Structure 1
Amino acid sequence: MNNHTSPYSFLSRPANLTRGNVTAEVTNVLREAIVSLALAPGSPIDKSLICAELGVSRFPVSEALARLQAEGLVDIAPQRGSSVSLVRLADVREYMLIRKGLESEALRVLIGAHDEKLVAALHDNMAAQRARAERDDAEGFHHIDVGFHDIIYSSMGFSRIRAIIDSARANLDRARRLIITPRRLALTIAEHQAIFDAILARDPAAANRAIRAHIDAVMVELFAFAREHPGLFADGATLGADSDSFPFG
């Protein structure tokens, strides 16, 4: 039975654990806790308490933390234990620049070759975004936001582009969650609508401007947040007052 006084009582014990999948399941549980900010940047990790909460031995927890270290989500220091890594602005900057280039080019290739199935999927997604925003459901909105971009990638069948984006997603999602506010939800909906409108108009230039403006707006807000909360970022203290530390436009 889970100990509900544990600081890890929010962790969901994996169901149907079988030999061979325990480490993967534990990794997924801990990754979700870190990315959703349930385990905050910089917080210490107590392996014994996690083992007790999840009902597993120390080995899969240790292996899971090693995998998450490779993803940049966990720091493991000899003699000092493990902790959730601070967000690295330098990494987010680089990943978002990669996204800007890939997504703008993906839209250029897609527009004119898309079908009504894509339009219907994006229409439904936009409606779901608005419904979540009206309920102030930031976590639900985040997943639908990710789905908006996934619909575009899936319709193209460009698996390598999708893989590159997915490889950076964990740290990107963690950074983006830091700035989710009702205002950001409303702005994201407007920015997504501009992308959708450009697809409907079969206007690749407008789509390019819209996706680049969307990514730029997120980065502007993230830089502003980092200046106010530098302790959550590994390199927050190095962020100056200038606004040109990301290639805007």
Structure 2
Amino acid sequence: MNNHTSSYAFLSRPSALTRGNVTAEVTQALRSAIVTLAMPPGSSIDKSLVCAELGVSRFPVSEALARLQTEGLVDIAPQRGSTVSLVRLSDVREYMLIRKGLESEALRVLIGSHDAGLLDELRENLAAQQATADRDDAETFHQIDIEFHDIIYRSMRFTRIKTIIDSARANLDRARRLIITPRRLVLTIAEHQAIFNGIVHADAVQASRAMRAHIDAVMIELFAFAREHPDLFADGQTLGADSDSFPFG
């Protein structure tokens, strides 16, 4: 991945900027570019080019970068400017452990008490996953993958759990996009199918185990990728070859 961005044509220019929402619109445009890896980890951010592309002054861009700094997506250094922050494996590890515990236990609550339409929603989602994988549409697949998990939470109406997970989504999404390959798409569908089968058969143990295995598999691939590309991670050089970097199982 290049460490210099010469063009910002990928930025989504707001269709209508109104006073009071300019900074929010700029923040969203930059956040989307960072999360989707259009602006890769470690790349420099040229404020002048961002201003020109979005048609705004430097003030909302500076404010947007400050907001993204608090989200852990941007690093701002005096005299050196702004850069897209490297992904922190330690943060991803912690957030994925939280997801693993919450999602696997939430399935135990779901089994036997879910809405009548849940299975139909999940079937449709799995079919959409397969369709996007068949045409190798990784970005759409990623969104449908997120929706698979959101369907489960909506069914349980566990809004606080969803809020906790969503709060960590930006950096998690960056990490997950780094390992999206045709092979990972196929594996994800199989892992989701195992979760679905547990729900269909009202087997809380199977569904919970499948969810834990799904998250473990993602982390195993992420660690392997980080060892091959440590420069994309703030703490990539500290990742050893040990098999217990994450509490698997």
> What TM-score, normalized to structure 1?
0.97
Report how far residue 115 of structure 1 moved.
2.3
State the one-letter code of the partner of 1:202.
A
Report how far residue 41 of structure 1 moved.
0.2
2:3 is aligned to none
Aligned length: 245
State the one-letter code of the partner of 1:153.
Y
Q: Distance in 1 between matches of 2:15 and 2:155?
A: 32
State the one-letter code of the partner of 1:123.
R
The unaligned stretches of length 5 or more in structure 1 are 1-5
Instruction: Give the secondary-structure state (helix, strand or coil) at the position aligned to 1:97.
Output: helix
- What's the CA shift string for 1:45-67, capped at 9, x where partnerless? 01111011000111111111111
Report how far residue 154 of structure 1 moved.
1.0
Q: Distance in 2 between matches of 1:106 and 1:36?
A: 28
- What's the CA shift string for 1:75-107, capped at 9, x where partnerless? 000110000000000000000000000101111
- What's the CA shift string for 1:15-38, capped at 9, x where partnerless? 121111111111111111000000
2:108 is aligned to 108
Instruction: Give the secondary-structure state (helix, strand or coil) at the position aligned to 2:75.
Output: strand
1:96 is aligned to 96
Q: 151-160 vs 127-136, which deviates more?
A: 151-160
Q: Distance in 1 between matches of 2:154 and 2:25?
A: 26
1:144 is aligned to 144
1:210 is aligned to 210
State the one-letter code of the partner of 2:38.
A
2:20 is aligned to 20
Aligned counterparts, 1:23-172, within 5 A: 23-172=23-172
| Cα contact 2:27–2:65 (8 A) shared by 1 | yes
State the one-letter code of the partner of 1:218.
V
2:174 is aligned to 174
Aligned counterparts, 1:183-202, within 5 A: 183-202=183-202
Q: Distance in 1 between matches of 2:26 and 2:225?
A: 31
Q: Distance in 2 between matches of 1:128 and 1:64?
A: 34
State the one-letter code of the partner of 2:121.
A
Q: Distance in 1 between matches of 2:156 and 2:78?
A: 45
Instruction: Give the secondary-structure state (helix, strand or coil) at the position aligned to 1:116.
Output: coil
Report how far residue 116 of structure 1 moved.
2.4
| Cα contact 2:195–2:210 (8 A) shared by 1 | yes
Q: Distance in 2 between matches of 1:41 and 1:115?
A: 41
- What's the CA shift string for 1:123-144, capped at 9, x where partnerless? 1100000000000000010000
Which runs of at least 4 in structure 1 moved beyond 4 Å after TM superposition?
A: none
- What's the CA shift string for 1:135-163, capped at 9, x where partnerless? 00000100000000011111111111111
Q: Distance in 2 between matches of 1:90 and 1:34?
A: 19
Q: Distance in 1 between matches of 2:240 and 2:162?
A: 33
1:3 is aligned to none
The unaligned stretches of length 5 or more in structure 2 are 1-5
| Cα contact 2:136–2:182 (8 A) shared by 1 | yes
Q: Distance in 1 between matches of 2:98 and 2:57?
A: 39
